Amino acid sequence: MKRSHNASLKHLNSFSVEARAGQILELECAQDLQTFTSEHVFDPGEDLILGGGSNVLFAGDVSGSVILNRVRGRRIVNDSDNEVLIEACGGENWHQLVLWSLEQGLSGIENLSLIPGLAGAAPIQNIGAYGVELADVLESVQAIELGTGQIHHFNHHDCQFGYRDSRFKSTDAGRFLITRIRLRLKRKFTAKLQYAGINDELKAMDVITATASLVSEAVSRIRQRKLPDPAITGNAGSFFKNPVIDRASAKLLSAKFDGLPHYATQDGNVKLSAAWMIDHCGWKGYRQGDAGVSAQHALVLVNYGSASGQHILELANAISDSVTCRFGVELQAEPRIIK
């Protein structure tokens, strides 16, 4: 197990903001996981599990330990006619896992191509993009309970998935270290092209018959065009969730604000476009010092260089307040904010 004391977290978060950790523990193999759970008493108030750091904002330091789960490994568990069960360790890079699944002739996660981060973090907020979310394919999660060292297995239902949400982000936040995920993928490809942009991109690529690999390529091309690359401009993707409100309130809002995009959810509520509301409050392309709102995408807050996490958090709060003031809707941050 690698250990470093009083270490910088700047290279470990996609916002590239400076923050420090009392110590960083890097777990590289199953033995490290065992040693860690038997020797370390995890304090959720002071310690932090960190994957790729692409969904966190450090607005303060971590006084205790930052634990990096870098245990890698992936395999096919079960291969039947059409359905194939794969397993990935928590330290696997998510996008590399998508590419590997395509190489195996499998489909199901191609729409989730190029989402940064590690497989162990994917269930935390039920990653989603372009009409697909992890919950659509997730079979089970293996996790270590940090307080006891006990290993737990959660099936799909146990994970309590919601829109950018799961028990690991809500009721059980900070309680488990996710060590493995199992996904149920398909040999027979069914394109999920309800997100109009994918069809347009496939057309632009001169594709006549879509395959899972071509959809992955189309999604990657759209993402590279639309989202700032964290390697160049620090960001954590969408900073705010799209707010979900009841139908009656949504009807009133739509009547008041012409053109406000809204989508019915499966549970009878309505999801509003946070990007549209932020844009209509005049924030898109805004910059104050090195903290700003992407000019390409109103949902993406960016660090142009030397912004602090606190600076970005203040900007996020100002955006959220202005949206509440104008639309009467509260925005919720998507990344985990460390204060």
Ligand X SMILES: Cc1cc2nc3c(=O)[nH]c(=O)nc-3n(C[C@H](O)[C@H](O)[C@H](O)COP(=O)(O)OP(=O)(O)OC[C@H]3O[C@@H](n4cnc5c(N)ncnc54)[C@H](O)[C@@H]3O)c2cc1C
Catalytic (active-site) positions = 164, 238, 334
Binding-residue total with ligand X (CB under 6 A): 33
H or E element: which one contains 313? helix 309-327
Binding mask 299-338 for ligand X (x = CB under 6 A): -------------------------------------x--
Only segment of 21-29, 118-126, 247-255, 267-275 that touches ligand X (CB under 6 A): 118-126
User: Which residues are CB-contacts of 248 (< 8 A; sequence separation ≥ 6)?
Assistant: none
**CB of 247: closest distance to ligand X in angstroms?**
25
Residues 141 and 154: beta-carbon distance below 8 Å: yes
Compare residues 187 and 223 and give the one whose CB is closer to ligand X.
Answer: 223
Give the shortest CB-132-to-ligand X separation in angstroms: 10
Name the residue nearer to ligand X (CB basis): 113 or 308.
113
Task: Tell whether residue 178 is a contact of ligand X (CB under 6 A).
Answer: yes
Query: Nearer Cβ to ligand X, position 105 or 174?
Result: 174
Closest by CA to 323, choosing from 287, 262, 273, is 273
- Interface with ligand X (CB under 6 A), residue from 88, 90, 303, 323: 90
Helix (H) or strand (E) holding 66: strand 62-69
d(CA 332, CA 142): 28
Query: Of the candidates 19, 57, 115, 270, which one interacts with ligand X according to CB under 6 A?
Result: 115
Is 124 a binder of ligand X (CB under 6 A)?
yes
Question: Pattern 32-71, binding to ligand X, x per CB under 6 A?
Answer: ----------------xxxxxxxxx------------x--
Distance CA 215, CA 198 (A): 7
Residue nearer to ligand X on the CB measure, 200 or 229: 229
The residues near 131 (Cβ < 8 Å, ≥ 6 apart) are: 111, 192, 193, 194, 195, 198
H-only helix segments in 78-235: 94-103, 196-204, 212-226
Nearer to ligand X, 218 or 236 (CB): 236
Contact 128, 164 (CB under 8 A): yes
Least separation in angstroms between CB 322 and ligand X: 23
Site for ligand X in 243-282 (CB under 6 A): none
**How many other CB atoms are found less than 10 A from the CB of residue 108?**
23
Look at residues 59, 21, 8 and name the one whose alpha carbon lies nearest to residue 239. 59
Q: Name the site residues for ligand X (rule: CB under 6 A).
A: 14, 48-56, 69, 90, 115-118, 120-122, 124-125, 127-129, 176-178, 227, 230, 235-237, 336
